[in-house]
Structure 1
């Protein structure tokens, strides 16, 4: 062995053998801490309520005022459906009203003449009563026909397809000029706010807690945010538990967009040391441990990094035991 190798070996031996404890050095006694276990799943941005705006009568779509992505308010006119038969029905009703009004005018004239003849003793009271009845019958017929016309006009107004809720138009499956049947969906409006919907493997169902904090990775391409597990549905669908997560300022530019989510599914005991206390040499991590007043470096296997009271802490998988004292830099 050459003298250079001998000197290097001696230096490493002195470095790893340890030394007396520095009285000014800060130490940490290892105690088991509870660490949350996270499960990564994908969530989808969905509307809380997906409500179809339906045509209330059959006819031709003569106007279509919205397209996918438009924001609407409840009661806004999304489209107009027209049934040409309604115009003919209204025209026929108006003609009936004109005839009845003419008959009423004639009956009232006959009644006025009869009252004058009764005063002269030319006609009888019975005849006058018949004229009054005829006027009342025609007046009631006019009232019934006007009510019938109001019904038809209301049917014409039902050609307006209204937005059922405030929200965003998700789908418009029809085009202008198409024929729509009564009850057919003209547009689908997503309202009630937006949230993340998760499909979680059922083996984690027992560990899910409503109200738990959820980590969302860069919903809008920025840093991670936090959400809340708002609702857990009781029905398991195809081996998956369905849950909803509420997120503040959730981007809704793309509905059904997939977002990576981490949710708590359990916990385990772990030993945590500050990240600054770990030294890496040639790919091996070392921690300075104090035992019997002597400091020595011990090789460890590290796990994930977590934040504890604003400090970066690293989980020690092997190499240290609870109760040991770690020297801090």
Structure 2
């Protein structure tokens, strides 16, 4: 019995010793520090604001019956292209034609009576009768495509009811994106900035666009404050389009072209086919380029420290490092722009805390820079 007890105590002592050593080793790994060296180089600095949008038509019309009657003839089908003034639907105008003829006869009789007031009355009745007769031919007020046709021959349409909407015509020539930006990003978004649109319906293709409107009144929904904006597709002379950055300077649309290579890189015929498929109601993800600078020096955010309102970095000098004051400019999710204090080719040292238990380090999103794993 004593042998079993002694054997158990020996086993427990060994396990306790192993656990103590293992914990000590884990603590030493957790507190272990290393450094990352980043070579300063010039690159293009781009920052974006992401919003969700929806394709809308600048010009559209719900065409209603302005007089009551039975549908006698339908001249179009859904999907047809029409011009403003084209007759879409014709109503049986027999009653209205009779009313017009009676009004015309009364007007001619009144002219022979010599009463000025009676003439004016009969003339007004004639104009109303003519107007109602003309309204038996239901026309499109805009150029566009018939997207809905709600009647068929023999239907009775009644003025002033829900069935008075006969058809819907939408112009596909002036589509725009309706979106809203949250107040935290409101100050960054300006008219003229370039953007890209990504649709679920067109995988791998981003369409170039441009901000054309920023609302002057905020809206609130469920406690979230947003400002409405509009964007327009840019499909011609993309190379000549300019984009206003958040710093107020003008830059070319090279960044938008780069982000929209799936569209820009295609032939004119392929682009036209894609554009024909963009229709009102489609949802899209919008990336607005709010900052675009070329050939600027940028370093990881973690490389910059601040003391007394001044910015400092650790610069490698031979086998040692020196702490140097720098002037920083724009800050993005990628890092800090360095205006002065560093030269291209110099190496900055970034402290990095490593951990074997997670095998994760500080992630710094810098173009061309991938921290070692």
The TM-score normalised by the length of structure 2 is: 0.48
State the partner residue of 1:271: 299
For residues 99 and 187 of structure 2, what CA distance do their matches in structure 1 show?
A: 63
Q: Aligned pair in 2 of structure 1 residues 68, 291: CA closer, same or farther (>3 Å)?
A: farther
RMSD: 4.5
Bigger strand fraction:
1
For residues 315 and 37 of structure 1, what CA distance do their matches in structure 2 show?
A: 17
Q: Aligned pair in 2 of structure 1 residues 136, 175: CA closer, same or farther (>3 Å)?
A: closer
SS of the residue corresponding to residue 263 of structure 1 reads strand
Runs of 5+ consecutive residues of structure 1 not aligned to the other structure: 1-27, 101-134, 273-288, 306-312, 320-329
SS of the residue corresponding to residue 75 of structure 1 reads coil
Query: Could you tell me how far 1:231 is from its partner in structure 2?
Result: 0.9
Q: How do 1:149-228 residues align onto structure 2 when only pairs under 5 Å count?
A: 152-176=129-153, 177-181=155-159, 184-191=164-171, 193-217=174-198, 220-228=202-210
Query: Could you tell me how far 1:194 is from its partner in structure 2?
Result: 0.7
Query: Could you tell me how far 1:182 is from its partner in structure 2?
Result: 5.5
Q: How do 1:61-76 residues align onto structure 2 when only pairs under 5 Å count?
A: 61-76=71-86
Q: Does 1:243 align with 2:229?
A: yes
For residues 261 and 206 of structure 1, what CA distance do their matches in structure 2 show?
A: 17
Q: Is the 8 A contact 2:195 2:288 kept in 1?
A: yes
For residues 292 and 145 of structure 2, what CA distance do their matches in structure 1 show?
A: 40
Runs of 5+ consecutive residues of structure 2 not aligned to the other structure: 1-37, 236-274, 301-314, 321-346, 353-360
SS of the residue corresponding to residue 166 of structure 2 reads strand
Deviation track 1:152-172 (CA, whole Å, cap 9, x = no partner) reads: 344312211111111223434
Q: Is the 8 A contact 1:270 1:315 kept in 2?
A: no
For residues 150 and 38 of structure 1, what CA distance do their matches in structure 2 show?
A: 59
Report the number of matched residues: 231
Q: Is the 8 A contact 2:65 2:157 kept in 1?
A: no
For residues 251 and 263 of structure 1, what CA distance do their matches in structure 2 show?
A: 23
Query: Could you tell me how far 1:87 is from its partner in structure 2?
Result: 3.7
For residues 220 and 166 of structure 1, what CA distance do their matches in structure 2 show?
A: 27
Q: Which has the larger radius of gyration?
A: 1
Q: How do 1:1-329 residues align onto structure 2 when only pairs under 5 Å count?
A: 30=40, 35-90=45-100, 92=102, 137=113, 152-176=129-153, 177-181=155-159, 184-191=164-171, 193-217=174-198, 220-237=202-219, 238=221, 239-249=225-235, 250-264=275-289, 270-271=298-299, 292=318, 303-304=364-365, 313-315=367-369
Q: Is the 8 A contact 1:216 1:225 kept in 2?
A: yes
Query: Could you tell me how far 1:203 is from its partner in structure 2?
Result: 2.5
Query: Could you tell me how far 1:267 is from its partner in structure 2?
Result: 8.6
For residues 150 and 34 of structure 1, what CA distance do their matches in structure 2 show?
A: 68
SS of the residue corresponding to residue 235 of structure 1 reads coil
Q: Is the 8 A contact 2:193 2:290 kept in 1?
A: no
